[in-house]
Every structure is written in structure tokens, then in C-alpha cells.
Chain A
Amino acid sequence: MEKTNIGAALKKNTMILALVLVVAFFYWSTDGKILYAQNINNLISQNAYVFVLSTGMLLCILTGGNIDLSVGSVVCFAGGIGAMMMDKGMNLWLAVLVMLVVGLLVGMFQGFWIAYIKVPPFIATLAGMYAFRGLSNVVLQGYAVSVTDTTYLNVFGGGADCYVPDFLGGNGINLTCLVVGVILAIGYIALTVKNRLSKKAKGYTTAPLTSEVIKTVLISALIVWLMYMLAKYRGIPSALIWIAVVLLAYSYITTRTTTGRYLYAVGGNEKATRLSGVNTKKVYFFAYANMGLLSGLAGILTIARAASAQPTYGQGYEMDAIAACFIGGASAYGGVGSVAGMVVGATLMGVINQGMSIMGIEANYQKVVKGLVLLIAIIFDVMSKKEKK
């Protein structure tokens, strides 16, 4: 009995286990460098766009394994427009708003063709991938435009000072960051207890107490440790706040709202969903419009991180986002996947990227490894589903 339990727990959390193993491997092969405070900070700041884009991609994939190949180009296009606006001296908040709106409009445009005309998503977004890459070049006129507004850089995670300031005046360590970590951990524990009690009160089945306690302790410890490491460096990177906002918002949408559940329903069985009176076209439209909006946000974060916009930005981002979702357990046929899983997937990709960079592996081979990781993850997913059947 005990053994099968452990086996089941292992199977359910394979990717978490894989993440731990990969971190351990890089810890060993980089002499511990991968867990330096600065590298953890970089891991978050450098991969902010992956978390944001993957969230949008997850919603598209949920609707039936549909993807958006245009996100990289849209990131570049929205970022390019914003950078040009700021370069011309326009208000930075106006520029931010324009980037989000541009992203949203692009998403609505593609969503219209996909949802209402039934153009296959990969073709519609492939067309977008080329068209918006070309338009990015047109907008930027082929040049790199630097982003110099320090407020913008600080808020969206670029430049030297993109950290939440330490209000509490810690000495050598960022106290604000530590305090936030502790508060988050306590909040998480409180939420778990409340959930469990409410489930019990409603008579639902609950996980055994031991496993729930272990899970809660591990996650709270992870939060505190992470914030401690960040505190040791420079504090909370502002990119982390954006990531957290997006992840929390979409966790909520996918698990607690009707719209969110429709995404799963459409991916599970489109026809049945339609026949139960759900406007499935609207669900597709929502998924792609939302993807556009989040691409706009990713564009904002990308040009902040690089402190510039270039016509080549965003290349291959679609790949990162898709890979993060699949590694995180989203089904390539739709209907299955979660924000939490995607976070694990995105982190795994981020760790692999960073670990390889620290080890000094050539960028070209990094591409090969990424491709292989994606393929293995998807094969694993398909195989384990076959077994379940």
C-alpha cells in the first residue's frame, strides 16, 4: 500500500522530480554556480517572457492542442512600436498602453480568422509570424532602438535598478523581500488549510493529511528559500511581480471561472460543449485575443530587459512557450493542463537554458537540446496517457 502510494506520487509529479534532478545535475556540473543568488535572480528576470507567453499559450493549447506560432513576432512588433514611441519622447504609460492594445488587436485579428472562419490555427498564426516579423522591421526601420527611460526600465525589469526598493532598510540583506516571502508562505499555508476545511465541510474527498502537510511544508519552504536567495542579492526583481500577477490571475481564471472551465471543455470535447449551449467560437476567440494581449505584455518585458528593441527580438519565443506548456503536462490534444504545471515546465526550460549557458555550451547546441527536450516531453506525455487507458 505504502509503495503504490509513493509510486503514484512519483508519477504524478514526474516533472517536478525531473526539475529537481536537472537542478542537481547543473549544481554538480557548474560547481554550485546555478544556485548562486545572482543566477536565481537572472533565471527569473531572463525568463519572465516565457512565463507570460506560456500562460497565454496554455489557454490556446487547452482548447484542443491549438498553438500560436506568431507570438515571437508579435512580441517584437508590440515592443518595437513601444520603443519607437518612447524614443520619440511620448509618455511611457501611453506607450505601455499602446503596446498592450497592439497585442490585443493582433490577437483579436488572428482570433477572428481562427474562431469564426475556421482557419486552422497553425496556418493563421504562421501567416502572422511572417507578417508581423516584417512589420516589426518596418516599424523599427531595421535598426535597434534603445529604451532609456529609467522609470520604465525599473518598473518592467530592465536596467541596473529593476528591484522593489527595500522599505525596511535591511543591512546587507533585503528585508522587504524576506518579509514578503514569509507573508506569502503564511498566506499559502492559510489558504491550504481553509481550502481543506471547506472541502471537508462540503463532504468532498480530501488528500490524506500527511501528503497534504508534506506538500504544504515543501512549497512554503521553497517560497521562503527563494525569497531569501533573492534578498541576498538585490531583492524582488520587478519582473517577478509581473510574473506573479499573470500567474495568479490565470490560475484563478482557469480554475475558478466559467470562461476558464469552458477552455477545458472545448478541448475535451468541442461538439459536446457546443451542444450544451456554450458559444465555442467565443471561447477560441477569447483564447487567441488573450494570447495577443499577453504577447503585448511580454513585449513590454522583453524590451525592458534588453533596454532596447531590435527587429530580431522574439525569435523562437513561440517555441519556448509551447515547450514550457508541454513539459508542464499540457496535453497536445487539448483539455488537460494547468498553470502550476506550466510553471514547472517553464522553470525547467529556464534552468536548462541557464545551466547550459553557465557551462559554456554553444548556443547552437542549446537549440538542439531544447528541441530534444520538447520531443521527449511530448513523447512521455503521449506514452503515459496510453498507459492510463
Chain B
Amino acid sequence: MKNAAQVLKKNTMIFVLVLVFLFFTLTTKGQMFTALNFNALITQNAYVYILATGMLMCMLTGGNIDLSCGSFVCFIGAIGGICMVTKGMGTGVSVLIMLLVGVVYGAVLGFVIAYMNIPPWIATLAGYLAFRGWGTALLSANSSTGSIAPFPQTYLKLFSGKIFETPINELNIPCLVVGILASVIVILLNVMNRNSRIRKGYEVSTVTAMTAKTVISVAVILLFAYKLAMAGGIPTALLWVVAVVLIYEFITSKTTIGRYFYTIGGNAEATRLSGVDTKKIMFLAYLNMAVLTVISAFTVIARFQAANSTAGTNYEMDAISACVVGGVSAYGGSGSVFGMVVGATLIGVINLGMSLMGIDANWQKVIKGVVLLAAVVFEILNNKEKSKE
């Protein structure tokens, strides 16, 4: 009994996610559960996962955020549009240029924040304003409608659409195969991890708990694989999301530099005194954020097939919410990529569900704000309880 309560507490957000999903499935009479909406959930929210990964790294260092990422998505879109459409450059060169712009902005931002001690939210607030203005100005200078299109097919194929696309409602074999492969890898990894822990004499969870966890993860993967296979195949954006999520899961949990992000957020002074270059870590957090913003911009532009002056509006909010809802501490030092993925999915499900229910966009904004506030309050109260224990 006590065990069940513990499991519930540890995985609150996952249960909330399941409940919310069921709620919307019921209220939309099963629409939520259709293959097309599984596909929409991923393609519409690809940018959130990527941005939130970068935001997570910033938040770990002490609850620092980047308010400029949404505007920067717009700006990068403008740059990409000018390169590929107006100037007719090749996709490869253009993508490199966009990445380079991201690196330059990230380096400047990181320098200003880490080495000049400018509070992050002010530095990024300046970017928030400047890049929205600059991006819009570039777009309107290069197009009468304030929107640049059409982007070349090579680019669109790279960041949107589907791999080995098949007609809808026809089972896509490659997608299923990938799903099964992923399931096998998850099972193997879980078993190997457990064995290595036992060998090293670490504590391990019970066999039932591990089996249950593995079975559930495999079931989720297979469900997604099946639904996506029915919707025409693996969305290209999903590959980018998975790549980013896996790489950063590895960095944050298995590398020294990843652990530094946590220690700085836990206690910056102690970390500095133990000989870690804390400024460098702060610098990296924001450099990394800008690069991931560019990657996120790639998927956004490809999905809309155009660079718009409104692209990226409120994205900073989505990314911050995903982190906070996913259990990342608003004061830094705790949070995980996996938690963020759950948070981002939860917000994605809420957004999609509300749209399917036909809820007015304005109320959606209100609900988003309330969810963000509720998640932070929940986390803070939860932590208070823990520290009492």
C-alpha cells in the first residue's frame, strides 16, 4: 500500500498526463485517440521539445530562463528565408548560416550573462524585443506580405513531412519496425543497467517494479509506432526531437559537464569553490540554448513552409511551462530531460485537446497560464513537504 502511494507520488505528472489524455479522449468522443491526432501531437509540438531541452539546461543553472527564444525563432526564420528564397542559396549553406547566426547570438548572450553578470531575464528581454523587431523588419523588407515562401523542397524534406510516407490508414512497415527495434533496445538497456548496478553493489528496484516499468514503456512506444504507422509514417520532426532528447539525456545524466549544471543550480558558490569554472557553464547554457533555438526554428519554418513575422510568438512560454510542469525546479538544480518530455507532452495534449473540443483560443491562453502557475505552486509545496520530512 505504502509502495503504491510512493509510486504515485514519484510519477505524479505521468498519471496526470494519462488522466488528461483519457479526459480529452472521452470529451472528444475518441477523436484524441485517432492516428492523425497522434501525428499532430508530435509535429505540432516538435519545437516545444527542442526549445524546452535548451531551457532545461538554463533553468538547471539556477532557475535562469531565456525570454528571447521565441523572437529568435522568428529572426532565424527571416535569415533562412532570405538565404534560401530571396537569394536562392543551397539548403546546406543556408542551414549552416542559420546555425552560425545562432552560435554568434548564443556566444554574445552567454558572454553578457556569464562574464558581465547581467541578469539573464534582462539580457534576454532585450533580445526578445530586438529580434522580434529585427526579424519583422527583415521579412517586410524582403516581401510585401511580411512572409517569405516557398522554401525549397530539399529543406522541407529535411525537417518536415514523413519518412517512407505511405497513404493514411495503410500500415507503414518501416515505422512499425523502428518501433519494435526501439522497444527491444529499451528492454535490453533496462536489463543491462540493472545487471551492472547489481554487479557494482548499488541498490536496485524490485523485479516487479522494473518489469512493470519496462512493459509500460514498451507499450507506449508500440502504441505510438502503431498510430504513427497508420498516419503515414514517422514524422521527420520526430527524428530531430528524439535525437536532441537522447543526446541531452546522455549529457545531463552521464557526463561531468552535465552534472556541473546541476551542482551550479544547487549551490553556485560551493561549485565555484570546488574548482569548477561556473562562468563557463553559464556561458555554455546560453550558447546551447541559442543553437537549439535554431534547430527548433528549422522545424517550425518547415512545418509552416514559410517564414512569418508572427512565428515563435509565446514559444518561450511553452518551453518554460514544459520544464516547470515536468518538474524542473524554478530555483535550479533539479529536473530531468525525461520529466521535461512528460511536461511538454502534457501541455501538447492540453493544447490539442482544447482545440479539438473547440475551446476559444483566448481561453486556451488563460488555461495555459493557470497550468503554469499551478505546476510551480505544486512543485514548491511538494518540496516544502519533502524538506519537512
Chain A residues near B (Cβ < 8 Å): 65, 67, 113, 117-120, 122-124, 126-135, 137-138, 142, 316, 319, 322, 326, 332-333, 362-368, 370-372, 374-375, 378-379, 382-383
Contact = CB atoms under 8 A, between A and B. Distances in A.
Interface stretch (B181-189, B194-202, B375-383): B375-383
Given A364-B137, A383-B116, A119 B130 contact: no
Given A126-B320, A378-B126, 16 more contacts: A123-B324, A127-B376, A131-B373, A138-B360, A319-B125, A322-B122, A364-B134, A368-B129, A371-B125, A372-B126, A372-B130, A374-B125, A375-B122, A378-B118, A378-B123, A382-B116
Contacts of B320: 123, 126
A379 B111 CA distance: 12
Contact of A65 (B119, B370, B377): B119
Most buried by B among A370, A371, A383: A371
A371 B369 contact: no
B132 to A, nearest CB: 6
Contacts of A375: 112, 118, 122-123, 126
A135 B130 contact: no
Interface in B193-223: none
A124 B137 CA distance: 32
B363 A122 contact: no
Nearest to A118: B380
Nearest to A374: B126
A126 B372 contact: yes
A127 B123 CA distance: 20
B317 interface: yes
* A-side interface mostly: helix
Contact of A365 (B65, B125, B133): B133
Nearest to A133: B365
B380 A119 contact: yes
A84 B249 CA distance: 50
B129 A374 contact: yes
B373 A113 contact: yes
Given A130-B369, A135-B366, A333-B119, A124 B133 contact: no
Interface of B: 63, 65, 112, 116-119, 121-123, 125-134, 136-137, 140, 314, 317, 320, 324, 330-331, 360-366, 368-370, 372-373, 376-377, 380-381
A374 B380 contact: no
B125 A127 contact: no
A368 B380 contact: no
B365 A134 contact: yes
| Binding site secondary structure of chain B | helix
A132 B363 CA distance: 10
Given A119-B330, A123-B330, A134-B366, A368 B123 contact: no
A120 B375 CA distance: 12
B6 to A, nearest CB: 25
A120 B376 contact: yes
B365 A367 contact: no
A117 B130 contact: no
A142 B363 CA distance: 12
Given A138-B366, A364-B136, A365-B137, A332 B129 contact: no
B363 to A, nearest CB: 6
A130 B133 contact: no
Contacts of B130: 367-368, 370-372
A122 B129 CA distance: 17
A371 B126 contact: yes
Nearest to A385: B117
Contacts of A123: 320, 324, 330, 372-373, 376
A297 B275 CA distance: 51
A118 B330 CA distance: 10
Contacts of A117: 377, 380-381
Contacts of A379: 112, 116, 118
B314 A130 contact: yes
8 contacts: A118-B380, A119-B373, A120-B63, A124-B373, A126-B372, A127-B369, A127-B372, A131-B366
Contacts of B128: 319, 371
B69 to A, nearest CB: 13
A370 B137 CA distance: 14
Contacts of A142: 362
Given A123-B324, A368-B130, A371-B127, A362 B122 contact: no
Q: Which 6 A-B pairs have CB atoms at the shortest separation, nearest pair first?
A: A367-B133, A134-B365, A131-B369, A371-B130, A364-B137, A137-B362
Contacts of B117: 382
Given A371-B129, A378-B118, A378-B122, A122 B380 contact: no
B182 to A, nearest CB: 34
A367 B132 contact: yes
Given A120-B63, A371-B133, A379-B112, A135 B373 contact: no
Contacts of A333: 119
B65 A122 contact: yes
Residue in B140, B320, B373, B377 with the greatest tally of chain A CB atoms within 10 Å: B373
Contact of B119 (A120, A316, A332, A367): A332
Nearest to B331: A120
A313 B368 CA distance: 20
Contacts of B118: 332, 375, 378-379, 382
Contacts of B376: 119-120, 123-124, 127
A383 B376 CA distance: 34
Given A113-B373, A119-B330, A135-B366, A319 B134 contact: no
A270 to B, nearest CB: 14
B126 A134 contact: no
Contacts of B331: 120
Contacts of A131: 365-366, 368-370, 373
A316 B132 CA distance: 11
A373 to B, nearest CB: 9
Contacts of B330: 119-120, 123
A133 B366 CA distance: 8
A363 B132 CA distance: 11
Contacts of B116: 379, 382-383
Contacts of A370: 129-130, 133
Nearest to A322: B125
Q: Which of B119, B128, B364 has the most CB of A within 10 A?
A: B119
